Amino acid sequence: MQIQVLMFEQDDPAKCTAAKLVKFGIAKRIKHLSGKDMILNPFAKEFVLRSDRDLTKSITAIDCSWELAQNMFLKKFEGLSRKLPPLLAGNPVNYSKIGKLTTAEAIAGVLYILDFDELANSIINKFKWGHTFFDLNQYLLEDYSNAQTMDDVIKISKEYGLEP
């Protein structure tokens, strides 16, 4: 699975997880999207499901500031738009906040759900706090990766007390 990031450079570059993934050669920085990319969009209508694995060969994260995210995603991005089910942030800035993930956490979460566990781990292990993301979400991610439908995802998140 190819990992791509469309970076808007709105945050502190020293703390940008997307930039670190590009630096290590894990992700490719892109300037344009193709219609075949899975776009990680926190405002998408559909959650990512394991069955989406067969629909794409690349995952593209839009790296932007959380303060500006809503306006950024008003733009129409070409591709398969998917959002992550509710997950807890493991990063020190937004620790344990629902959905306030770094770009690296979002990519790792999608990869885990799509059954690319080793690649997900290789991403999250680049960060000293990375293990915390998987510690907080281990059971959630396992359950989400087995979900067959959007209704399954909603049911799972409600069982954990995380309303989508």
Phi, psi of 117, deg, nearest 5: -60, -45
Find residue 113's DSSP bridge partners: none
The pLDDT score that the predictor gives to residue 82 is 94
The pLDDT score that the predictor gives to residue 78 is 73
The pLDDT score that the predictor gives to residue 127 is 94
Sheet containing strand 38-40, strands side by side: 28-30, 2-7, 58-63, 38-40, 80-82
Could you please report the per-residue DSSP string of 77-142? --SEEEBPPP-B--SSSSTT-BT---HHHHHHHHHHHTT-HHHHHHHHTTSTTHHHHHHHHHHHHH
The pLDDT score that the predictor gives to residue 163 is 79
Total-model pTM: 0.89
Burial of 42 (0-12, 13-18, 19+ CB in 10 A): middle
The pLDDT score that the predictor gives to residue 23 is 92
Provide the residue ranges of all domains of the chain, joining segments of one domain with +.
2-159
Written as six digits, the tokens of 126 are: 């680049």
The pLDDT score that the predictor gives to residue 62 is 83
Q: Provide the residue type at 92 as one letter.
A: P
The pLDDT score that the predictor gives to residue 42 is 85
**Residue 83 Ramachandran class (φ > 0 left, ψ -120 to 50 alpha, else beta):** beta
Q: Match 């770009």 to its residue by tokens.
A: 103
Residues contacting residue 57 through CB under 8 Å, at least 6 positions apart:
1, 2, 36
Each residue's pLDDT, cut to its tens digit, for the chain (164 residues) gives 999 998 776 666 566 898 889 999 999 998 877 777 898 988 889 999 999 999 999 999 988 665 555 555 556 667 888 999 999 999 999 999 999 999 999 999 999 999 999 999 999 999 999 999 999 999 999 999 999 999 999 999 999 999 76
